[in-house]
Amino acid sequence: MPRILLVDDSADFRKLLIHCITNIYGDVACVEYDPISQKLPGADFIWADFDLLILDYDLGLEGENGLDWMRHFNSIIGIPPVLMLTTVADAELSTRVLKAGAIDFMDKEDISTETIKTTLDAIFSLADKQQALIANQAESEKNIEAAPLPELLFQDEDDFFDISSDRLSSTYEQLEKFGLTVPGYEIIEEIGQGGMSTVLLARSIEDDNAVVLKIIFTKGHENPITLKGFVQEYALISYLNHPNVARIYERAFASNFAYIAMEHFPGGDLTQKLKKGIALERVIEYIYQICSGLSAVHELNIVHCDIKPGNILFRANDTLAITDFGAAKNLTNSADDITTHNYIIGTPYYMSPEQSAGMVFDHRSDLYSLGIMIFQMLTNKRPYNATSVTQLISMHTHAPIPKLPPKLIKYQPLIDGLLMKDPDERFQSARDVILGLDWIK
């Protein structure tokens, strides 16, 4: 039976929320906590008695709020997951709440039986999966302590869902500071900063061609997951020669950093094109090209795991290629799969239900991400939006498949076939998507 500690300065609200929760679940035990009379829980508080802490942001205390309490809780071992409540629907505040360690965020004015159930179902489901992972790890590695809980490594620089706090400092600045050079290349400028690396525009001294260098320092930034993904990108696709997959020319390690030299795409990425709007005939052509590239990748038993507009790049002639395989899953050799080490890597707006839940997934997860992207290309808006990660994941899992506007209704079977919640009910391959698009045309 789940046990919830509810911290809110309003007795009426505490009772209302408890009434809603017990009506939904029946067997959930809720304990009220008044922050005004009971103050901040001390070191002797028994957190092990609770599976979830629902914490109000406005505690009714002068000079203190829920974020202050969370900073205190973060130093306590065994603190349960925290769901933060507030009366302010503020994206900036929700970002601060999530970065402080809350598992989710809810606006009090948006609370209803439906929103409570959706949010708590997702939290309880995630907790069950985390416990299963720990149990499996303990069973398979008797001499090793329980594995850490899964961590979502989100990769979307454009919104607050990118909650990583360990962004790399500018590699370009570090190269200049220490007088380092990349052998065989002349660096022109820094053109991007990603979750795993810094991206530089450079010129190959040998043939005078423009290339892109993805660089990560190997000293001072020794996150094993980051480095493993960086190395994996070259290993997976360096030998794949397909016009719709970005070419990688070289991987090497210098004294303090590693780098990958890859194809330069002066046409930018799909995110930039979406901001301007894309004509329907170009959307269809882009879908064909993306499916062609995905088909080649999937034939190698590789799942990209992070299909999104930022990873679709364009050449000067407007042909495109899929890039960034640092998060990819190798189905042939799962031992080298970075998602098997209790990490889930991806972008919440585009992640399939099975991927976001930490379940086993395959190439059909990429097809779901493709479906989200196609909907966005056709309508210039995302099909699912939310104010928190958990709510967004819940929408991918439970919300109805979005409908296209009437003028695009003939493409609805394509969206339906890609966004089915059950991967067995989706298109089963990128080639099937191409056949479906041919039939629609």
Residue 236: both structure tokens together: 């997976």
Q: What is the pLDDT of residue 409?
A: 95
Kindly tell me the burial class for residue 276, based on how many C-beta atoms sit within 10 Å of its own C-beta (0-12, 13-18, 19 or more).
Answer: exposed
In tens, the pLDDT along 407-435 reads: 999 999 999 999 999 999 999 999 999 99
Domain(s) labelled CATH 3.30.200.20 in the chain stretch across 171-263
CA neighbor of 218 nearest in space, from 173, 170, 257, 169: 257
Secondary structure of 98-151 as H, E, C letters: HHCCCCEEEEHHHCCHHHHHHHHHHHHHHHHHHHHHHHHHHHHCCCCCCCCCCE
DSSP classification of residue 372: H
Domain(s) labelled CATH 1.10.510.10 in the chain stretch across 270-440
What H or E segment, with its residue span, contains residue 61?
none
Count CB neighbours of 38 within 10 A.
Answer: 11
Residue that the structure tokens 């423009």 belong to: 210
Distance between CA 381 and CA 361 in Å, rounded?
26
Domain(s) labelled CATH 3.40.50.2300 in the chain stretch across 3-140
Residue 292: both structure tokens together: 């062609």
Q: What is the pLDDT of residue 115?
A: 82
Is CATH 3.40.50.2300 the right assignment for the domain spanning 3-140? yes
Q: What is the pLDDT of residue 403?
A: 95
Give me the active site residues, please. Answer: 306
In tens, the pLDDT along 251-276 reads: 777 666 778 888 999 999 999 999 99
- Three-class SS state of 340: helix
Q: What is the pLDDT of residue 41?
A: 84
At CB < 8 A and 24+ separation, what contacts does 104-108 make? 104/388, 104/389, 104/390, 104/391, 105/387, 105/388, 106/388, 107/387, 108/13
Q: What is the pLDDT of residue 46?
A: 85
From the centroid of its chain, how far is CA 41?
33
Residue 251 sits at φ, ψ, to 5 deg, of: -130, 140
Q: What is the pLDDT of residue 152?
A: 43
DSSP classification of residue 80: P
Residue 230: both structure tokens together: 């960086």
Q: What is the pLDDT of residue 296?
A: 92
pLDDT in tens, the chain (441 residues): 789 999 999 999 999 899 889 888 888 899 999 999 988 887 678 888 888 999 999 999 988 899 888 888 877 767 888 888 887 655 567 667 766 777 777 888 778 888 888 788 777 766 655 455 445 444 443 443 333 433 444 444 343 333 333 333 444 555 554 456 788 888 888 877 655 567 888 888 888 889 988 887 655 544 545 555 555 556 667 767 899 999 888 877 766 677 888 899 999 999 999 999 999 999 999 999 999 999 999 998 889 988 999 999 999 999 999 988 877 777 765 544 444 443 445 678 898 998 877 788 899 999 999 999 999 999 999 998 877 777 788 888 888 999 999 999 999 999 999 999 999 999 999 999 999 999 887
Q: What is the pLDDT of residue 157?
A: 35
Residue 60: both structure tokens together: 């009714």
CA dihedral (360, 385, 79, 67) in degrees, to 10, reads 160
Is CATH 1.10.510.10 the right assignment for the domain spanning 270-440? yes
Distance between CA 380 and CA 272 in Å, rounded?
12
Helix, strand, coil shares of the chain, percent, nearest 5, are: 40, 20, 40
DSSP classification of residue 267: T
Q: What is the pLDDT of residue 91?
A: 57
Which CATH code is given to the segment(s) 171-263?
Answer: 3.30.200.20
- Three-class SS state of 243: coil
Contacts of 56 (CB under 8 A, 6+ apart): 7, 8, 9, 10, 35, 66, 84, 85, 86
CA dihedral (228, 234, 235, 239) in degrees, to 10, reads 170
